[in-house]
Amino acid sequence: MASNLAPQFADEAPDRLQFLDDTLTGLREEPKRLPCKYFYDETGSALFDRICDLPEYYPTRTERAIMAAHADAMADEIGADALLVEYGSGSSLKTRLLLDVLERPAGYVPVDISRAHLLKSAAAIETEYLDLEVLPVAADFTTSFTLPEPERAARRRVVYFPGSTIGNFTEKGAVALLEGVAECCGPGGALLIGVDLRKDVDTLERAYDDSAGVTAAFNRNLLVRMNRELGADFDVDAFEHSAVWVEDAGRIEMHLVSRSDQAVSLDGEEIEFERGESICTEHSHKYTLEGFAALAARAGFRVQEVWTDEDALFSVQLLELPE
């Protein structure tokens, strides 16, 4: 298939005004917060790719091993002629394990908030899979976006959502996102999703605070991006990275902690920080299998299959919608 990414590229990613509004809203709250979706500019996406290769960061290699071991079974469950829609596609590395074994996929729709990273990855997929129609969409998948139609009609739609990104959402937010996925899939559709599981605290905290400092750089890059794109004047070195397990909430929290009393200017507004005050930049919830099944059921999904590694660190689950 000849390359035609340019005319087919759909750009619905948040613009600067949306970024500014979301940032100001979060920094006015108590405690302060920032949406984790804004981690993923071109630099942030590249840093996250480095995180995925770190020895402490078990999720990516464990999920990749599950995919490698069970991709054939997953493809059998998905069936032929499916339109594969990937939420948060990133570099699409794990996706290749699925594309290699899917029977006659009607098309592949990678959806990612980072335009540059998306186009680079989509072009690579198109080059490697010459008979596959690739329809990239730059968008925030937590909001509604236009799903492109492939040239060849799909028998069903299947959303692929790897990486346990579902863990970044509150319970209410996760249900809302799954409801959006259900709407995207339609009756008879399915969701193949990575779900991180509960485990010992030491493993969890090391995964989000690596010894090489890559996750810290990824976290602080959010401040760099706000300085560049929003005209803020954050002193990036005046904030330190923190990752802690919060037992009652069942999640890792990532924070940027102010090293001193300071004030930051953003869009004519002065935002004050006390020493030790933090900005929460990410939640990463961890689930039990029973707990996630109950969560998915609230959005109309039924768990069809679950694949895990031998240590039960991570799971890949196929959720089905009724016809």
DSSP-assigned states of every residue in 118-181:
HHHHHHHHHHH-TTS-B--EEE-TTS--PPPPPSSPPSEEEEEE-TTGGGGS-HHHHHHHHHHH
How many alpha carbons lie under 13 Å from residue 244 in its C-beta half-sphere?
Answer: 11
Q: Which residues of 9-23 are buried (b: 16+ CB within 10 A; e: fewer)?
A: bbebbbeeeebbebb
- Residue 200 corresponds to which amino acid? D
Q: Report whether pLDDT(29) > 90.
A: yes
pLDDT tens-digit profile of 265-287?
999 999 999 999 999 999 999 99
Whether residue 124 is contained in a domain is answered as: yes
Q: Which residues pair with 255 in a beta bridge?
A: 242, 280
Whether residue 270 is contained in a domain is answered as: no
CATH of the domain at 29: 3.40.50.150
Range of the domain at 206: 1-238+286-323
User: What is the pLDDT at residue 113?
Assistant: 85
**pLDDT tier for residue 125 given thresholds of 50, 70 and 90:** very high
Mean predicted confidence (pLDDT) in 90-111: 93
Q: Is the peptide bond before 31 cis (omega within 30 degrees of 0)?
A: yes
Report which of 252, 242, 319 is spatially closest to residue 279, judged by C-alpha positions.
242
Whether residue 243 is contained in a domain is answered as: no
Phi, psi of 111 (to 5 degrees): -120, 120
Mean predicted confidence (pLDDT) in 50-68: 96
Whether residue 258 is contained in a domain is answered as: no
Report which of 86, 108, 87, 112 is spatially closest to residue 154, judged by C-alpha positions.
108
Whether residue 272 is contained in a domain is answered as: no
User: What is the pLDDT at residue 4?
Assistant: 38
Using DSSP's 3-state secondary structure scheme, residue 95 falls into helix
Whether residue 259 is contained in a domain is answered as: no
Q: What is the spatial distance between Cα 50 and Cα 314, in angstroms, rounded to a whole number?
A: 20
Q: Report whether pLDDT(289) > 50.
A: yes
Mean predicted confidence (pLDDT) in 187-213: 97
Angstrom distances, CA of residue 80 to CA of 77, 151, 312 = 9, 16, 30
> For the chain, what is the mean pLDDT?
94
Whether residue 199 is contained in a domain is answered as: yes
Whether residue 256 is contained in a domain is answered as: no
How many alpha carbons lie under 13 Å from residue 115 in its C-beta half-sphere?
Answer: 8
Q: Report whether pLDDT(3) > 70.
A: no
Report which of 59, 91, 296 is spatially closest to residue 190, judged by C-alpha positions.
296
Count how many domains the chain has. Answer: 1
